[in-house]
Structure 1
Amino acid sequence: MIRVFKHYVPNAVLLLAAIDLILLLLSAELGWLLRAWQIDMGVEPVWTRIPQLLSFAAPLQIAMVAVGVYGADVLVSVRQATMRLMVAVSLGVIFLSVLFFLFPAITFWRSTLFFAMLIAVAALVLVRAVFGRMLGSERLRRRVVVLGAGARAARLQALAALPGASFVVAGHVAMGEPTIEVRQSVPRGAIDNLADHVVFLGATEVVLAIEERRNSLPLKDLLRVKTTGVHVSDFSSFIERETGRIDLKSVNPSWLIFSDGFSSGRMLSSAFKRAFDITISLLLLVLALPLILCTAVAIKLESKGPAFYRQRRVGLFNEPFDILKLRSMRQDAEVAGKAVWAAEDDPRITRIGRFIRKVRIDELPQCWSVLKGEMSFVGPRPERPQFVDDLERELPFYAERHMVKPGITGWAQINYPYGASIEDSRNKLEYDLYYAKNYSPFLDLLILLQTLRVVLWPTGAR
């Protein structure tokens, strides 16, 4: 894993992204050369058309990120990769058509754009056919030795078996746990020198996954491993890095206090975030106004009641505020104002409501809350006060998610389906805490781009 602006990115993803960029540039150049050959035109040196090449490659790579081309499930499936690449290239070409209309100086000819697109799709799919096999092997995966053979060690073993995992467990060392869940583990007493054992296995990292750390930390072993140049990680930090979430089952207050992060309140990043929110919310409100009005009319025609409704939510520092949404349920969806979790195939949702929830049109009026400063575009989803009271009693560290301004979309929304229970809220909280801890403008941009993937391939919209 490589940390980019506090967010962890797998080495394989960065390598593939770099290869893709080169392929896109080469595709643009080959498309240009093919068209020049067709019309028998003299070809100038490649550096004279660098703006045109970049104007082709950059939007297409951004579109690939947005539709989830670099997701773990897509990386190991050529079929999934091909489908998403076709969508990404199509979206990219539409954007390029607009870009070239506005800025003719950097334009490709339409025939050049067509040739470059065909070459790019073929090259990108071919690379994934080859790269998928490499990703499934151990060549591009880090070798990890796990100290522990209990429940935590078993979780790491299961994590390593998932498609697209960035590490492989080279060995388990049982550290005297009363319950052994990893049968192939080697007892610590059978290893003369743990540092030599780690080096022999070719590991680049050791993960401490013992169940009880009080008075049982193998400090001497860890120090010797560390001095050999092998990285040493504790279980919670390793899970955070590999999964993009804070593991509530293992984390404790001291880990949260002494680990780095939680710098979302820094003046420069806060000013940048607020300026972005104001600019984009104003733009979206203007552009989306016809769509909002048409949807409101459709809602009124289908069912009785107002097209818009206000709902009380809990915001920054536990301050309540009202959000504005397009109504997607019947007027009598909640009796006497009592909050009820949405369920899959919820009968209270209208036909228009089901559609606007899937494509997130019902969220557009919340741009007004963003403009007022009660929300941001990116952040944890604000919950209703009745649910917050229950969740703070049930879930540790739930109140900490209110230290960040709530958002329309967020890290939990692009990584986990709609939450409709305490357990769903626990899983989403793990992603929300990761976002609060590792916030940066880069992570915000990544979330905004990948929200398109959630819109195109809805998962659990209720």
Structure 2
Amino acid sequence: MFACYIGAYALVGPDSLDIFLFYDGGMERVLFVVASVLLGVYLNDLYSELRVISRLRLVQQYCLVLGMAFLAQSLASYVSKDMVLGRWHMMVGSGLALAILPAWRFAYDLLFIRSHNRQRILFLGANNLVKAIVKTIHEKPQFGMSCVGYLSDVQAEEEFTRQVPYLGQVCDLLPIYEEHKPSMIVVGLPEQRDRMPLQELLDLRVAGVPVEDSSYLYETMLWRVSLEALRPSQLLFSNSIGPNARNLAIQRLYSTVISLIGLLIALPVMAIVWVLVRVTSPGKALYSQRRVGINGKEFFVYKFRSMYIDAEARTGAVWAQKNDPRVTPLGYWLRKLRLDELPQFFNVIRGDMAIVGPRPERPEFVKVLSEKIPFYNQRHAILPGITGWAQINHKYGDTVEDTITKLEYDLYYLKHLSLSLDMYIIFHTAKVMLLSKGSQ
């Protein structure tokens, strides 16, 4: 991108390139354009979705990205003319970028993602975790994995067999391995159905063949802890599950600092929202709602009111839903932009919440969900958060199935809680808020 815009000036610039770059602030101007293009690439998910599914769609995405760069130039011109590039300079540089960047993506997809250093995986069994792994391998070739086939005493359904060849029974492990020489063996045998060939697997492992459990690969690729494979003994004897006291103390510190800074910045916005809520519907602008926090302790979470007063007088506690009739017209936008949650900075300062953590749930729902979903109460081992790992990775859901998926993300966060992961979540939350993903 630097080459595109610097090269454009060499083609259409009125002065020499040296003068532009080193004496006329050209390097800073180009840096601003490149930064705006990088931001557009990030907001359009071009860093997370590396596979080129449609060339036309990719070109359209880059048109949108460069359109955002032009918008950034227009906005910057109101601040300082010294921050923007010349009209023809910007147009020629963006034209070069529109030709070169998609071409680079095509080449990267063809030469690297689809062909370079692929791990060939042989699956031993075909449980639900294996099926989820296979689906992810096909959807995200950037993992560099391919499926050799699977072994099972009972052949899986036809749809799965079309994706992964059925190679034989479990007892055929050694001859199948010698025939196909896979890079890795992933074990996903249903406990009551197939016989685990322990001696054969041990011989291959000692010989240097990687052998992994399907739950490990599931966690690595999907960033979730599988509830289906999770056993109480894993939680009891594992050193990696559970909060680390040092990490929790650090989290508490930076959560308080971020909340204080956030309050100072957000106070004018909060004042405007307070006035708008009071003007557009009867009732208080702020309301508190009982939620379940760390170790099951209940607390009151603060939010701007987005529903009509006494919205649950008839229905009782119910999940939010799409096109919820209880939500006011202003409340719809407050939820979409996440502005209704700004008062939760006070909850963080009080110590009821952290910036990042599992979202706190209402006691009525916790009681029901803890009875239906195993390990649900383990998410209360740490402070709940304003945002979280489940919020940036999964859509808003109002079903038990969605709750199970979000719990898998919460358990992953509980296992890997760290400053770097929290900063990653905070960074991505900004995109979720800006694009209104998952809000309801």
TM-score range, shorter-chain basis?
0.7 to 0.9
Contact 1:135 1:164 in 2 (8 A): no
Q: Which moved more, 1:414-423 or 1:93-102?
A: 93-102
Contact 1:392 1:398 in 2 (8 A): yes
Q: Which moved more, 1:60-69 or 1:281-290?
A: 60-69
**Are residues 1:446 and 2:424 paired?**
yes
Tell me which of 126, 130, 144 is aligned to 2:103: 126
Contact 2:256 2:348 in 1 (8 A): yes
- C-alpha distance in 2 between matches for 1:53 and 1:379: 38
- C-alpha distance in 2 between matches for 1:150 and 1:265: 32
- C-alpha distance in 2 between matches for 1:146 and 1:424: 27
* Aligned AA (2:169): P
Quote the offset at 1:236 in angstroms: 0.8
Q: Decide whether aligned partners of structure 1 residues 242 and 364 sit closer, same or farther in structure 2, where only a CA change above 3 A counts.
A: same
The aligned runs of 1:48-63 (5 Å cut-off) are 61=38
Tell me which of 373, 390, 401 is aligned to 2:368: 390
Quote the offset at 1:444 in angstroms: 1.7
Contact 1:264 1:270 in 2 (8 A): yes
Let me know the Cα RMSD of the aligned residues.
3.8
> Which residue of the partner structure matches residue 360 of structure 1?
338
**Are residues 1:212 and 2:194 paired?**
no
Quote the offset at 1:304 in angstroms: 1.4
With a CA cutoff of 8 Å and minimum separation of 6, indicate the structure with the bigger relative contact order: 1
The alignment of Structure 1 onto Structure 2 pairs a total of residues equal to 429
SS of 2:436 mapped into structure 1: coil
Quote the offset at 1:143 in angstroms: 1.9
**Gap regions ≥5 residues in structure 1:** 1-23
Tell me which of 200, 208, 212 is aligned to 1:233: 212
Quote the offset at 1:30 in angstroms: 3.7
The aligned runs of 1:200-279 (5 Å cut-off) are 203-212=182-191, 216-258=195-237, 261-262=240-241, 264-267=243-246, 269-279=247-257
* Aligned AA (1:368): F
Tell me which of 186, 198, 216 is aligned to 2:168: 186
- C-alpha distance in 2 between matches for 1:443 and 1:128: 28
The aligned runs of 1:97-116 (5 Å cut-off) are 110-111=85-86
> Which residue of the partner structure matches residue 353 of structure 2?
375
- C-alpha distance in 2 between matches for 1:363 and 1:115: 43
Identity among equivalent positions (%) equals 31
Contact 1:309 1:324 in 2 (8 A): yes
> Which residue of the partner structure matches residue 16 of structure 2?
40
> Which residue of the partner structure matches residue 322 of structure 1?
300
Contact 2:120 2:184 in 1 (8 A): yes
Q: Decide whether aligned partners of structure 1 residues 158 and 288 sit closer, same or farther in structure 2, where only a CA change above 3 A counts.
A: same
- C-alpha distance in 2 between matches for 1:283 and 1:103: 27
Quote the offset at 1:70 in angstroms: 2.1
Quote the offset at 1:294 in angstroms: 1.9
> Which residue of the partner structure matches residue 46 of structure 2?
69
* Aligned AA (1:316): I
SS of 1:377 mapped into structure 2: strand
* Aligned AA (1:235): S
- C-alpha distance in 2 between matches for 1:357 and 1:327: 10
Quote the offset at 1:180 in angstroms: 4.0
Quote the offset at 1:40 in angstroms: 2.2
- C-alpha distance in 1 between matches for 2:249 and 2:65: 32
- C-alpha distance in 2 between matches for 1:389 and 1:149: 34
- C-alpha distance in 2 between matches for 1:66 and 1:404: 30
* Aligned AA (2:219): E
Q: Decide whether aligned partners of structure 1 residues 75 and 289 sit closer, same or farther in structure 2, where only a CA change above 3 A counts.
A: farther
Contact 2:170 2:195 in 1 (8 A): no
1:315-360 C-alpha deviation (Å, 9 max, x unpaired)? 1222222111111111121117931111111111111111111111
Q: Decide whether aligned partners of structure 1 residues 97 and 278 sit closer, same or farther in structure 2, where only a CA change above 3 A counts.
A: farther
Quote the offset at 1:426 in angstroms: 0.9
> Which residue of the partner structure matches residue 395 of structure 2?
417
TM-score (norm 1): 0.78
**Gap regions ≥5 residues in structure 2:** none
TM-score (norm 2): 0.82
The aligned runs of 1:292-371 (5 Å cut-off) are 292-335=270-313, 338-371=316-349
The aligned runs of 1:163-178 (5 Å cut-off) are 164=141, 166=143, 167-174=145-152, 176-177=153-154
SS of 2:342 mapped into structure 1: helix
